[in-house]
Amino acid sequence: MDFLGAHVPELLPGNRPLPPVQGAVEAPHGTTIVAASFPGGVVLAGDRRATMGNVIAQRDIEKVFPADEYSAVGIAGTAGLAVEMVKLFQLELEHFEKVEGAQLSLEGKANRLSTMIRSNLGMAMQGLAVVPLFAGYDIDREKGRIFSYDVTGGRSEEHGFAATGSGSVFARSALKKLFREDFTEHQAATAVVQALYDAADDDSATGGPDMARRIYPIVTVITEEGFRKLTEAEVSEIARAVHERRLDQPDGPRAALL
Amino acid sequence: MSTPFYVSPQQAMADRAEYARKGIARGRSVVVLQYTDGVLFVAENPSRALHKVSEIYDRIAFAAVGKYNEFENLRIGGVRYADLRGYTYDREDVTARGLANVYAQTLGTIFSSAAEKPYEVELIVAEVGNGPEDDQIYRLPHDGSIVDEHGSVAVGGNADQISSYLDQRHRDGMSLAEALRLAVESLSRDTNGAERTLTAEHLEVAVLDRTRPQKRKFKRILGRQLSRLLDEQTAEDKAEGGPGQDAGEAAEAGTAGGTTGPEAAAEGGKEGGKDSGKGSGKDTSAGPEDAGTD
């Protein structure tokens, strides 16, 4: 990226002069992202809603992207900036891999993303924050790992599960009660869909599964075999099963009291 | 030898071309050929770390012979060009044609600039299309010209002989195993007609495979997969050739050690005829350098 900075600095975020603004800038915001690990991998999922103030700006936005073969980024925050950040991140990982002939370590990727978020601090102070969630399969340690970030680029590794975005409080609470160490891939995918359902239940900016329009959350799985996005058929099956049970129990599965 | 005050441009260019060609001829060869699902790259390269064939972008790959540091420089430049293009516009806007043009400009400028020594490299840039008729292969010699190739192409030490061998035997719609066999056969023939046995350890093999579901079509064929593909071939050979195979192998083992010998000698003779003694003195040092260029 030093090359990009030296040759076409205007392509890099953080190098643009900011116009003075009065009040909040209206731009579409992405909302909730959740991740959960299971033995042998990690799932990363996101709802499909983007909001601009009280308006639903987009119903079918995709907020989870593969970063490379073994990692993915889910974005919450200002959609335009976040998508650009992901594009640049993808480019950088691929570029490194091609030039060096080897992949960055998962830690290396996570650190790089941290720097990119920090470079957006000026924008974040004006209300255009980007807060992603990064998940990947660590080939050296043979397990899925999750990294969460704050607006200043602070990075922390999460164990088991994590959430970011406006509905993250509710999603995280739901996952906390549902999460088990011995999940299978399918169970982990179901758990994140449940968590997104709960987030949509309590947070107006998070969209639940839209049965009428057939818009379901994006669910991705990263294992030893690499990144895989669940097909619409697979996600719709999980979402329908969750929805079916919620018709009887609107608050979702009950955890044991003791 | 006295230093002439005036060197005609023709002579200067001829000398530079001669210098570059000799550098390239010292290294081993790379062959690139189309097969039914894409483009196959096979290089004779005992090193695992220093690649002669590499990925540039989604559908584009690069193969080179000559001096490693020089073509590595060009490769990184190509990756930068492609990544920057793809980021600024779209992934689809990165084409082999564009890249080959950039390489041609760079090589041409370096070749004709008096301040620099010409690059001793020859490149191949290939792009895999949606069908075999959309595949593109460009060969870029040291002087910055572009040659649009079809079917098969070879560059490096023994390129002319290998090319003609490939041209005679390559046909459209070959399977990967067939194409690989042809490539290995062509690489294992020496200038003097003898054959060597090339095993998986001596080969660097990669494909641009249009059937890959990922965006990035480049894939290295390594270790077990390569041995399996090669074994498939030898099994077929055995069935065809019968007992002749073993005798042939024994003969090859004998010639393999002295590979560079006859080649260097032949070249030395050629040079000697051309510029009286200057070339042959230089060529004796070609032997040890040979290992360096690979």
Q: Both B282 and B140 in a single domain?
A: no
Locate the chain B residue with the closest alpha carbon to A89.
Answer: B87
Q: Which of B190, B201, B198 has its CA nearest to residue B162?
A: B190
Q: Which of B265, B271, B291, B280 has its CA nearest to residue B191?
A: B265
The reply to whether A95 touches chain B by the CB within 8 Å rule is: yes
pLDDT of residue A3: 74
Q: Both B252 and B265 in a single domain?
A: no
Q: Which member of A4, A87, A99 has the closest CB to residue B79?
A: A99
- Is residue B11 in some structural domain? no
Q: Which member of A3, A11, A88 has the closest CB to residue B80?
A: A3
Q: Both B237 and B291 in a single domain?
A: no
- Is residue A139 in some structural domain? yes
Q: Both B251 and B167 in a single domain?
A: yes
CATH number at residue A199: 3.60.20.10
Q: Both B98 and B197 in a single domain?
A: yes
CB-CB neighbors (< 8 A) of B54 in chain A? 98, 101
Q: Which member of B51, B87, B216 has the closest CB to residue A101?
A: B51
Q: Both B282 and B204 in a single domain?
A: no
Q: Any idea how long chain A is? A: 258
Q: Which domain holds residue A147?
A: 2-6+27-248
CA atoms of A84 and B294, how far apart (whole Å)? 41
Over residues B3-28, mean pLDDT: 86
pLDDT above 80: residue B57: yes
CA atoms of A116 and A114, how far apart (whole Å)? 5
Q: Both B100 and B51 in a single domain?
A: yes
Q: Both B202 and B287 in a single domain?
A: no
- Residues B41 and B51: beta-carbon distance below 8 Å: no
pLDDT of residue A195: 96
- Is residue A7 classed as helix, strand or coil in its secondary structure? helix
The reply to whether B51 touches chain A by the CB within 8 Å rule is: yes
> Total structural domains in chain B?
2
- Residues A123 and A18: beta-carbon distance below 8 Å: yes
- Residue A223 tokens read as 């294992």
Is B87 exposed, middle or buried (CB count within 10 Å of its CB: 0-12, 13-18, 19+)?
buried
Q: Which domain holds residue B188?
A: 25-257
CB count within 10 Å of CB A112 equals 17
pLDDT above 50: residue B277: no
In this prediction, residue A22 has a pLDDT band, given cuts at 50, 70 and 90, of: low
CATH number at residue B69: 3.60.20.10
Locate the chain A residue with the closest alpha carbon to B74.
Answer: A99
Q: What ipTM was estimated for this complex?
A: 0.83
Over residues B267-274, mean pLDDT: 38
- Is residue B2 in some structural domain? no
* Residue A31 designated active-site: yes
The whole model's pTM is what?
0.81
Q: Both B114 and B196 in a single domain?
A: yes
Q: Both B154 and B285 in a single domain?
A: no
What are the distances in angstroms from CA B168 to CA B164, B171, B207? 6, 8, 22
The reply to whether B79 touches chain A by the CB within 8 Å rule is: yes
Q: Both B186 and B283 in a single domain?
A: no
pLDDT of residue B9: 86
> Total structural domains in chain A?
1
- Is residue B17 in some structural domain? no
In this prediction, residue B237 has a pLDDT band, given cuts at 50, 70 and 90, of: low
- Is residue A42 classed as helix, strand or coil in its secondary structure? strand
- Is residue B19 in some structural domain? no
- Is residue B201 in some structural domain? yes
pLDDT of residue A184: 95
Q: Both B92 and B178 in a single domain?
A: yes
Q: How far apart are the first and last CA of chain A?
A: 52
